[in-house]
């Protein structure tokens, strides 16, 4: 994944748990990269190892950490200059979630090493929708739940999310029923 992701993880861990913990986590993960370059592509394995080491060392469940990290990603990319990318994708939560593939096409045009997941929506209505998530990367459904929560925060909305299909449980993809208050 692009270094931007590892940078976001670094900032997330440093903010909530301190620089010292981050250094320890990096060492535990066996990651010898001194600092991550945003626009350079790194093996996914590095990110997974960092998440794994963080969970062990901070005694947090992976699903919990990934969900919080997903929320942080929306905040972080907003600050890193990608706010207009998010805003340009739609003026309501329903619209943005419907346009996530377009958003990733736009990023991918500039950064060809991007391996974007794919999303589609069904049962879109005033007060909610179902978001379907397809990814070459395993285990990141909790992060997507956090991403949705982060986007809702951008819109000042409160929502409830329930995972309705789960690849871990043998379904062919992950999906989320989203109710917007
Ligand atoms: O392959 C990748 O490197 C990659 C990196 C980030 C693929 C996707 C993403 C974004 N995605 C992270 C979870 C991936 C889960 C998966 O692969 O199954 C989050 C997608 C998302 C979902 C809901 C709402 C918002 C979302 O993200 C918005 C977004 C997406 C991409 C970027 C920024 C915001 C982005 C921008 C520049 C990038 C990389 C990603 O690369 C850079 C960065 C700095 C300088 C040059 C290039």
Let me know whether 107 and 134 are in one domain. Answer: yes
Does one domain contain both 51 and 72?
Answer: no
Task: Please give the distance, rounded to the nearest whole angstrom, from the Cα atom of residue 116 to the centre of ligand 1.
Answer: 7
For 124-141, the pLDDT digits (tens) are 999 999 999 999 999 999
End of a domain among 19, 37, 60?
60
99 and 26 assigned to the same domain:
no
Are residue 53 and residue 84 in the same domain, yes or no? Answer: no
Q: Which domain holds residue 144?
A: 67-180
CATH classification of the domain holding 72: 3.90.1520.10
Same domain, 15 and 102: no
116 CB near ligand 1 (under 6 Å):
yes
CA 156 – ligand 1 centroid, Å: 22
pLDDT in tens, 3-40: 999 999 999 999 999 999 999 999 999 999 999 999 99
**For residue 117, how far is its CA from the centre of ligand 1 (angstroms)?**
9
String of b and e for 14-23 (b: at least 16 CB within 10 Å)? eeebeeeebe
Question: Do residues 54 and 136 share a domain?
Answer: no
Helix (H) or strand (E) holding 97: helix 93-98
* Same-domain check for residues 82 and 165: yes
Question: Are 93 and 54 contained in the same domain?
Answer: no
My answer on whether 131 and 96 are in the same domain is yes
Residues 154 and 176: their CA atoms lie apart, in Å, by: 19
Q: Is 106 in the pocket of ligand 1 (CB under 6 A)?
A: no
Q: What is the 3-state secondary structure (H, E, C) of 101-121?
A: HHHHHHHHHHCCCCCCCEEEE
27 lines ligand 1 (CB under 6 A): no
Q: Whose CA is nearest to atom 46 of ligand 1?
A: 39
Structure confidence by residue, pLDDT tens digits, 42-81: 999 999 999 999 999 999 999 999 999 999 999 999 999 9
């Amino acid at each position: 994944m692009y270094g931007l992701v590892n940078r976001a993880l670094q900032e997330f861990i440093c903010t909530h748990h301190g620089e010292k913990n981050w250094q320890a986590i990096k060492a535990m993960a066996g990651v010898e990269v001194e600092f991550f370059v945003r626009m350079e592509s790194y093996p996914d394995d590095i990110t997974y190892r960092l998440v794994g080491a963080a969970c062990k060392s901070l005694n947090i469940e992976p699903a919990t950490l990934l969900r919080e990290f997903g929320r942080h990603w929306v905040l972080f990319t907003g600050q890193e200059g990608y706010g207009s990318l998010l805003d340009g994708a739609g003026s309501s939560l329903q619209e943005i979630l419907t346009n996530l593939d377009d958003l990733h096409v736009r990023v991918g045009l500039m950064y060809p090493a991007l391996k974007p997941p794919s999303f589609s929506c069904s049962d879109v209505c005033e007060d909610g929708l179902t978001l379907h998530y397809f990814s070459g990367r395993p285990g990141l459904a909790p992060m997507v739940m956090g991403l949705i929560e982060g986007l809702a925060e951008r819109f000042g909305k409160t929502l409830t999310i329930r995972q309705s299909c789960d690849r871990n449980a043998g379904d062919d993809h992950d999906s989320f029923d989203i109710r917007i208050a």
